Amino acid sequence: MKPDLLEQLLEALRHKREACLVRWLDSGEAGLWVEGRWTSPRPLAPELEAEIKRALREGRGRLWELGGERLFLQVFQPPLRLIVVGAVHIAQALVPMAHLLGYRTVVVDPRRAFASSERFPGTDILDEWPDEALAALDPDRRTAVVVLTHDPKLDDPALIAALRSDAFYIGALGSRRTHAKRIARLRAMGLDTEELARIHAPIGLDIGAVSPAEIALSILAEITCRLRGGPKRDRTAATGEA
- How are the residues of the chain apportioned to helix, strand and coil, as percentages rounded to the nearest 5? 40, 20, 40
Binding site for another protein (CB under 8 A): 1-3, 6-7, 9-10, 13-14, 23, 25, 28, 60-63, 70, 72, 74-76, 78-79
Q: Residue 233 Cβ, how far from another protein at the closest point, in Å?
A: 24
- Which SS3 state, helix, strand or coil, does residue 58 take? helix
Strand 104-108 with 81-85, pairing? parallel
> Of the two residues 11 and 151, which places its CB atom closer to another protein in the complex?
11
Residue spans of alpha helices (H) in the chain: 3-14, 46-58, 89-100, 130-137, 152-163, 176-188, 193-196, 212-227, 235-239
Q: Residue 232 Cβ, how far from another protein at the closest point, in Å?
A: 20
Q: Residue 62 Cβ, how far from another protein at the closest point, in Å?
A: 7
Q: Residue 7 Cβ, how far from another protein at the closest point, in Å?
A: 6
> Of the two residues 60 and 112, which places its CB atom closer to another protein in the complex?
60
Q: Give ∠ CA 165-166-169 in degrees, rounded to 5.
A: 100
> Of the two residues 16 and 164, which places its CB atom closer to another protein in the complex?
16
Residue spans of alpha helices (H) in 125-175: 130-137, 152-163
Q: Phi/psi at 239 (nearest 5 deg)?
A: -95, -10
Q: Residue 118 Cβ, how far from another protein at the closest point, in Å?
A: 30
> Of the two residues 63 and 66, which places its CB atom closer to another protein in the complex?
63
> Of the two residues 106 and 215, which places its CB atom closer to another protein in the complex?
106
